[in-house]
């Protein structure tokens, strides 16, 4: 009898943690929606949803790439710098038209991703150090290319930033399409499965003959490309290139979204739906506090609480 009761208590706790870890982020989003509906005036308006979604779209896009990197037991601190770089390069090459400018942006981003990937996969530098170098250097380069804020008057860029299809802004559509695409890659492709295996046990993946280096390099390139997309979209929305502040602290927002969304930092698992929900959760939380005129410092404290809660729920995973 006594033994039976002893055994059920920790089991229940484990089950609660398990539930929190899987569904906690969605429950959080739902709770914030309900609370705001009650306490925030005009919360349930199409306009408000649109604003929130447009604001969160770049975070989601960056977080998708971050989720892949974290799935390999890595991290990419250079995503904010890549956004800034994308803004600078867009401003420099917009004169040749939007498409050529985007191509050059992609080249720059791919170069950053290759450098990150090569440092991690070939040289064996720890991801946090390798990408730290480009976090600092990337923004430096962005500022060398374009030292100050520059207004951009380009109709195609403007329509990318504020246009819509059937009332849905391009930003949201692009983020949604990319999320579905990345989720598909993770679930249904050889690449996705190899990525997870490498993140879970690199020695085993190596001995199983997986192309470990190639997969790692591609992951960092994809992450940089996604950050560049976010940088271009944010620039388009601002209709200005702002390499000084664009993407500042974005790496932290993205990591937060990924972790809160139930993707463990220890690798081997990538939760894309959770990552999107994680970004939305942080966005709603911030918006709620701002709408109720609480100072920005409160937002940071609230974020910290969410992160601690997420880490608590993830406790016990990875380290077995």
Partner 1 sequence: MAPPAEVLAVRGLSKSFPGVRALDDVDLTLHAGEVHALIGENGAGKSTLIKLLTGVYRPDAGEITFQGSKVSFATPLEAQKAGISTIYQEVNLIPLLSVARNLFLGREPRNRFGVLDIARMNREAEKTLRGYGVRVDVRRPLRTLGVGAQQMVALARAVATDARIVIMDEPTSSLEPREVETLFSVIRRLRDAGIAVVYVSHRLDELYAVCGTVTVLRDGRRVHHGSLADLDRLALVSTMLGRDLGEVREEGLTKFTGDHEATDTQPVLDARELTVPHKLHEVSLSIRPGEVVGLGGLLGSGRTETAKAISGALPVRSGRVTVAGVPLRGGSAPAAIRAGVSLLPEDRKSEGIVPGLSVRENIALAVLPRLSRFGLVSEARVDSVVDTFIKRLRIKASSPHQKVGELSGGNQQKVLLARWLAMNPKVLLLDEPTRGIDVGAKAEVQKLVDELAADGLGVLLISSDLEELIEGSDRVVVLKDGAVVGELTGDDVTEDKLMRTIAGDAQVEHLAKEVATDG
Return residues touching partner 1 (CB under 8 A): 188-191, 193-194, 196-197, 200-201, 203-211, 268-269, 320
- The least CB distance from residue 196 to partner 1, in Å, is 6
Tell me the C-alpha distance between 60 and 37, whole Å. Answer: 23
Name which of 48 and 206 has its Cβ closer to partner 1.
206
Name which of 167 and 203 has its Cβ closer to partner 1.
203
- The least CB distance from residue 320 to partner 1, in Å, is 7
Name which of 189 and 300 has its Cβ closer to partner 1.
189
- The least CB distance from residue 314 to partner 1, in Å, is 13
Place of tokens 């463990």: 264
Q: Are 157 and 239 in contact (CB under 8 A)?
A: yes
Name which of 78 and 194 has its Cβ closer to partner 1.
194
CB burial of 239-277 (b: ≥16 within 10 Å; e: otherwise) equals ebbbbeebbeebbebbbbbbbbbbbbbebbbbbbebbbb
Name which of 73 and 76 has its Cβ closer to partner 1.
73
- The least CB distance from residue 245 to partner 1, in Å, is 38
Q: Are 260 and 278 in contact (CB under 8 A)?
A: yes
Which one, of 26, 27, 31, 40, lies nearest residue 288 by Cα?
40
Count CB-CB contacts under 10 A for residue 97: 12
Name which of 171 and 197 has its Cβ closer to partner 1.
197
- The least CB distance from residue 125 to partner 1, in Å, is 18
Tell me the C-alpha distance between 40 and 210, whole Å. Answer: 52
- The least CB distance from residue 209 to partner 1, in Å, is 4
Name every residue whose Cβ is closer than 8 Å to that of residue 86 and which is 6 or more positions away in sequence: 105, 108, 109, 227, 228, 229, 230, 231, 232, 235
């Amino acid at each position: 009898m006594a033994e039976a009761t002893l055994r059920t208590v920790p089991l229940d706790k484990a089950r609660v943690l398990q539930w929190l870890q899987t569904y906690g982020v969605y429950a959080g989003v739902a709770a914030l929606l309900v609370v705001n509906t009650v306490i925030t005036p005009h919360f349930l308006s199409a306009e408000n949803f649109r604003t929130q979604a447009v604001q969160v779209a770049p975070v989601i896009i960056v977080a998708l790439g971050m989720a892949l990197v974290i799935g390999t037991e890595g991290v990419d601190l250079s995503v904010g710098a890549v956004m800034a770089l994308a803004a600078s390069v867009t401003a420099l090459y917009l004169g040749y038209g939007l498409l050529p400018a985007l191509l050059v942006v992609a080249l720059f981003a791919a170069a950053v991703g290759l450098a990150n990937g090569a440092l991690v996969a070939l040289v064996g530098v720890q991801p946090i150090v390798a990408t730290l170098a480009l976090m600092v250097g990337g923004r430096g380069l962005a500022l060398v290319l374009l030292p100050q804020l520059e207004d951009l008057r380009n109709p195609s860029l403007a329509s990318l930033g504020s246009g819509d299809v059937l009332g849905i802004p391009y930003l949201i559509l692009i983020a949604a399409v990319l999320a579905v695409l990345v989720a598909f890659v993770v679930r249904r492709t050889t690449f996705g499965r190899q990525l997870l295996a490498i993140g879970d046990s690199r020695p085993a993946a190596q001995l199983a003959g997986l192309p470990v280096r190639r997969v790692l390099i591609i992951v960092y390139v994809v992450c940089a490309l996604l950050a560049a997309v976010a940088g271009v979209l944010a620039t388009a929305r601002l209709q200005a290139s702002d390499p000084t502040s664009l993407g500042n602290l974005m790496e932290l927002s993205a990591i937060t979204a990924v972790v809160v969304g139930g993707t463990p930092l220890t690798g081997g698992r990538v939760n894309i739906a959770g990552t999107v929900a994680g970004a939305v959760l942080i966005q709603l939380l911030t918006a709620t506090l701002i709408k109720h005129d609480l100072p920005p410092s409160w937002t940071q404290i609230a974020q910290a609480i969410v992160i601690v809660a997420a880490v608590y729920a993830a406790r016990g995973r990875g380290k077995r």
